[in-house]
Amino acid sequence: MKHKIRSRSRSKSKSHPKTTKRFRRRQLLMIVCAVAFVAIAAITVISRQRAIAKQSTAAEASVAAAHKPAGSFVTVKVAGRDVQVDPQTGQIKPLSSQEAQQMAEGLKKMLNRSTDGLEPVKEADGSISLDLQGRFKNVAVARVNQDGSIEQSCVDTPEAAANFFGIDPQLVGAQRTPQQQSAQKKAQ
């Protein structure tokens, strides 16, 4: 008995129809995912830009409502105080002589080193206390420099406060040193 052997041979050049359909489906799925990703990214960017625009518009409106023009400066409320600011540069208006005097009066009270009128009190345990009546304080001060940076310091004498703010030491109750007096005479 002779057996006939049949061989089934497939041609390698011919592609299978099922594999081609799968490949096309995967391609289509990847394209749809890529388009969805780009659309989501675009929506996110647009919504963020709109939110930023709304915030800046709201901030400008509130700033405009809070400020009253005073010449070329606008008034801004900072820590309960009115501060004059140039709206174009953001620079704070230099102190007027009246404002420097007000600041000096406040500093003078806190930096007072006089013992006049202070009464010692003898306590029951034998110790002696003294009510300083708001004198002999260390005062934290700050200023905005020309470059916009903020400089801060702690002063405990009227001379240090006058030096920090660049104001006349006599305004804060400081006595001028002989060097300062001779420098002032030379400047005049």
Give me the pLDDT at residue 67, please. 47
> How much is the average pLDDT of 41-70?
69
Give me the pLDDT at residue 171, please. 80
109 and 47 together in one domain: no
With respect to residue 153, please indicate whether it lies within any of the assigned structural domains: yes
With respect to residue 168, please indicate whether it lies within any of the assigned structural domains: yes
Give me the pLDDT at residue 122, please. 92
Q: What is the pLDDT of residues 81-121, one digit of tens each?
A: 777 778 877 777 777 788 788 888 888 888 888 888 889 99
> How many structural domains compose the chain?
2
Cα–Cα dist 182/178, whole Å: 6
105 and 156 together in one domain: yes
101 and 58 together in one domain: no
**Residue 56: which domain range?**
19-63
Q: Which range, 108-112, 143-147, 178-182, is most confident?
A: 108-112
Q: Is the pLDDT of residue 124 over 90?
A: yes
With respect to residue 156, please indicate whether it lies within any of the assigned structural domains: yes
Among the ranges given (33-37, 89-93, 163-167, 168-172), the one the predictor scored with the smallest mean pLDDT: 89-93
